[in-house]
Amino acid sequence: MRDFSKDHRWLSLNTATVRKQGDFVQIVDACARMGIRAVSPWRDQVATVGLERAVKAVRDAGLELSGYCRGGMFPSDAAHRQDMRDDNRRAVDEAKALNAPCVVLVVGGLPQYSRPGSAPSKDLGAAHRQVEDGIAEMLEYAKSVNMPLAIEPLHPAYAADRACVNTTKHALDLCDRLDPASSGMLGVALDVYHIWWDPEIHAQIKRTGKKRLLAFHVCDWMVPTKDILNDRGMMGDGAIDIPSLRRAVEAEGFEGYSEIEIFSHDWWSKPMDEVLRTCIERHRTVV
């Protein structure tokens, strides 16, 4: 396992972590100032400053990207399907402009939550099929511009509203079916928050292998978790044995960024520099 204790060369900041403290350009500036060398932007944060300014900010700061968040939200009713397709194409185009290594896919849950306004359904199996069809279609386009897609299995607590792919096994089954040749154009983004509880996670990380391991995210699981979406913990503050998971992905050859993605009302209420300093310290000590 790589030694992170001496520097933060392999720290990437998912910009949602400090979304309340500044706009995308301010976050990029802060990262550059702190020697953080990579970011993973969210589309709404890029949209707020404009794609062109975002591209320029990243380039001027000499940053790399570790991913682009996010495409997906595939389940929809027929009336919302074309919107969904167009939206996902734009995600790919933006990722390309920003020189991202992949688009992270949050695949969506039931259609009424995935694409609001869609007719409500409780048919989870149908949502699974729409996700598979949606990824297949998006992958065609992504391949044409050489932009890999990373399926992020989300914690089962999000099955209804954010993603109905909730295990690494399910995500890899989709990869096997949609990209059997393992072209490198379809893989997974593994976030310790979503996968740590899975009794099969070590076997599934082995199954993933280097080529499909497109991103690795860290934060922590708080006990108690006060808010199902926005009470994620700073690494070291929760229940997850993060090093055991990093060791497992690196044993498969992963040598990319350890991307910090924390949605937290607590951390959003602190000054940006304090959050970034804490991220750097925890990256060096408990990741």
Please give the structure tokens belonging to residue 91: 């995600």
Sheet of 258-260: strand order equals: 64-65, 38-40, 11-14, 258-260, 213-218, 186-191, 149-151, 103-106, 68-72
- Closer residue to a second copy in complex, CB, 94/231: 231
Give the separation between CA 112 and CA 279, rounded to whole angstroms.
Answer: 36
Give the number of residues written for the chain: 287
Omega within 30 of 0 (cis) for the link into 70: yes
Q: Indicate which single residue of 19, 77, 156, 211 sits in contact with a second copy (rule: CB under 8 A).
A: 156
Give the separation between CA 2 and CA 67, rounded to whole angstroms.
Answer: 21
- Backbone φ and ψ for 259, nearest 5 degrees, come out as -90, 125
Strands in the chain per DSSP E: 11-14, 38-40, 64-65, 68-72, 103-106, 149-151, 186-191, 213-218, 258-260
The minimum distance between CB 243 and a second copy, in angstroms, equals 9
Kindly state whether residue 159 participates in binding a second copy, applying the rule CB under 8 A.
Answer: yes
Restricted to residues 193-252, the positions that interact with a second copy (CB under 8 A) are 196-199, 221, 223-225, 228-229, 238-241
End-to-end CA distance of the chain: 11
The minimum distance between CB 257 and a second copy, in angstroms, equals 23
Pick the stretch among 3-11, 85-93, 166-174, 209-217 that binds a second copy (CB under 8 A). Answer: 166-174
Kindly state whether residue 192 participates in binding a second copy, applying the rule CB under 8 A.
Answer: no
**Around Cβ 96, how many Cβ atoms within 10 Å?**
15
- Closer residue to a second copy in complex, CB, 60/197: 197
Kindly state whether residue 180 participates in binding a second copy, applying the rule CB under 8 A.
Answer: no
Long-range contacts of the stretch 55-58 (C-beta < 8 A, 24+): 55/97, 55/98, 57/24, 57/25, 57/28, 57/29, 58/28, 58/98, 58/99
The minimum distance between CB 128 and a second copy, in angstroms, equals 7
The minimum distance between CB 122 and a second copy, in angstroms, equals 4
How many residues touch a second copy under the rule CB under 8 A: the total is: 32
Kindly state whether residue 167 participates in binding a second copy, applying the rule CB under 8 A.
Answer: yes
The owner of tokens 């925890």 is 282
The minimum distance between CB 246 and a second copy, in angstroms, equals 13
The minimum distance between CB 104 and a second copy, in angstroms, equals 20
Kindly state whether residue 160 participates in binding a second copy, applying the rule CB under 8 A.
Answer: yes
The minimum distance between CB 3 and a second copy, in angstroms, equals 21
Q: Indicate which single residue of 166, 168, 258, 278 sits in contact with a second copy (rule: CB under 8 A).
A: 166
Restricted to residues 107-126, the positions that interact with a second copy (CB under 8 A) are 109-110, 113, 122-124
The SS3 call for residue 35 is: coil
The residues that touch a second copy, with contacts defined as CB under 8 A, are: 109-110, 113, 122-124, 128, 155-157, 159-161, 164-167, 170, 196-199, 221, 223-225, 228-229, 238-241
